[in-house]
Amino acid sequence: MNLLRALSVVVSVSLAVPAYAQMSFEGLDLGGKKKPPKKKPDGGKKKPDEKKPDETTPQPDVELPPEGLDLSKPAETKKKPPKGNDENKPAPTMSFDAVDVSGKTGDRQKMDAAINQFKADEFEPAALAFFEMSQDPKMAGMTIEAEYWLGKSLYKLGLYNSSLGMFSKVLGRGSDKNKFFKSSLEWLFFIARKTTNETVVLDEIAKYANFEFPERFRNEFRYLLARYNFVYGKALDDAERKGEADKAFDEVKRLCLMIPKADPFYPKAKYLEGLSYFRENKLEAALESMKEVVRATRSEEGRGETAEARNLKNLRELAFMQLARTHYGARQNRYALFYLQKVERGGPQWLESLFEASWANYRIGQYEQALGNLITLSSPFFRDEYFPEALILKAVVYFENCRYTEALSIIEDFEGIYGPVQEELNTLVEKNMEATEYFTVLDEVRKKNKAGLVKKGSVDEILERILNLALTDKDLKKTVDSIGELEGEIDSFGSRSDAFKYSNMSKALIESMKAQREQLIKKGGIMAKAKLDFENGQLKTLRANGLRIKFETTDKEKEFLTELLQAGGQKQTVKKYKETQAVSDDQLYWPYYGEYWRDELGTYQYTLTKGCIERSSGSELRE
Query: Of all helices (H) and strands (E), which one includes residue 614?
Result: strand 609-616
pLDDT at site 570:
56
C-beta separation of 424 from 535 below 8 A: no
Confidence band of 92 (pLDDT split at 50, 70, 90): very low
Output the pLDDT for position 304. Answer: 59
Out of 181-190, 204-213, 252-261, least confident range: 204-213
- Sorting pLDDT into bands at 50, 70 and 90, what band is 525? confident
SS3 call for 388 = coil
In degrees rounded to 5, what are phi and psi of residue 224? -65, -40
Whether 294 shows a pLDDT value over 70: the answer reads yes
Query: Looking at residues 579-584, what average pLDDT do you find?
Result: 62
Q: Which helix (H) or strand (E) holds 146?
A: helix 143-156
Q: Which pLDDT value is given to residue 436? A: 81
Residue with the bigger pLDDT between 387 and 156: it is: 156
More confident residue, 452 or 66: 452
What span, in angstroms and rounded, lies between the C-alpha atoms of 400 and 512? 60
| Beta strands per DSSP E along 198-258 | none
Model confidence pLDDT, tens digit, residues 249-267: 999 999 999 999 999 999 9
Q: What is the pLDDT of residue 377?
A: 77
Could you say which DSSP state residue 484 is in? H
**Cα–Cα distance for residue pair 494/498, rounded to 1 Å:** 9
Distance CA 1, CA 7 (A): 10
Higher-scoring residue by pLDDT: 5, 441: 441
What per-residue confidence (pLDDT) applies to 261? 92
Say what the pLDDT of residue 267 is.
95
Q: What is the pLDDT, as a whole number, of residue 489? A: 94
Q: How confident is the model over 127-136, as a mean pLDDT?
A: 95
Q: Within 10 Å of residue 301's Cβ, how many Cβ atoms?
A: 10
User: What is the pLDDT at residue 279?
Assistant: 93
Contacts of 445 (CB under 8 A, 6+ apart): 454, 460, 463, 464, 467
86 or 335, which is more confident: 335
Report d(CA 314, CA 302) in Å as an integer: 14
pLDDT for residue 170: 94
Instruction: Specify whether the CB–CB gap between 144 and 180 falls below 8 A.
Output: yes
Q: How far apart are CA 284 and CA 476, in angstroms?
A: 29
Model confidence at 596: pLDDT above 80: no
**Band of residue 503 on the pLDDT scale cut at 50, 70, 90:** very high
Q: Which residues contact 520 (CB under 8 A, 6 or more apart)?
A: 200, 479, 482, 483, 486
User: What number of residues does the chain have?
Assistant: 623
How far apart are alpha carbons 485 and 473 in whole angstroms? 18
Cβ–Cβ < 8 Å for 319, 274:
yes
Q: How confident is the model at residue 321 (pLDDT cuts 50, 70, 90)?
A: very high
CA distances to 360, 475, 598 from 279, in Å: 22, 17, 37
Q: Kindly report, residue by residue over 351-409, the tens digit of the pLDDT.
A: 899 999 999 999 998 888 898 888 887 776 666 677 888 899 999 998 888 888 888 99
SS3 541: helix
* Position with higher pLDDT, 300 vs 483: 483
Measured distance CA(258)–CA(209) in Å, rounded: 14
Grade residue 98 by pLDDT with cuts at 50, 70 and 90.
very low
- Other Cβ atoms less than 10 A from the Cβ of 210: the count is 5
**Region of poorest pLDDT, from 58-62, 353-357, 435-439:** 58-62
Q: What are residue 588's phi and psi, to 5 degrees?
A: -135, 130
Which of 274 and 48 is assigned the larger pLDDT?
274
Determine whether 410 is exposed, middle or buried from the number of CB atoms within 10 Å of its CB (0-12, 13-18, 19+).
buried
The answer to which of 72-81, 195-204, 237-246 has the lowest mean pLDDT is: 72-81
Contacts of residue 98, defined as CB under 8 A and 6 or more positions apart, other chains included, come to none
354, containing H or E segment: helix 350-363
7 falls in which pLDDT band (50, 70, 90)?
very low
| Long-range CB contact pairs, 91-99, < 8 A, 24+ | 91/58, 91/59, 91/60, 91/61, 91/62, 92/58, 92/61, 93/58, 93/59, 94/69, 96/71, 99/74
What's the mean pLDDT when you consider all of the chain? 77
C-alpha count within 13 angstroms, C-beta hemisphere, residue 120: 10
Average pLDDT value for residue range 191-202: 78
Q: Is 615 helix (H, G, I), strand (E, B) or coil?
A: strand
What is the C-alpha to C-alpha distance for residues 361 and 37, in angstroms, rounded to an integer?
A: 96
pLDDT > 80? residue 601: no
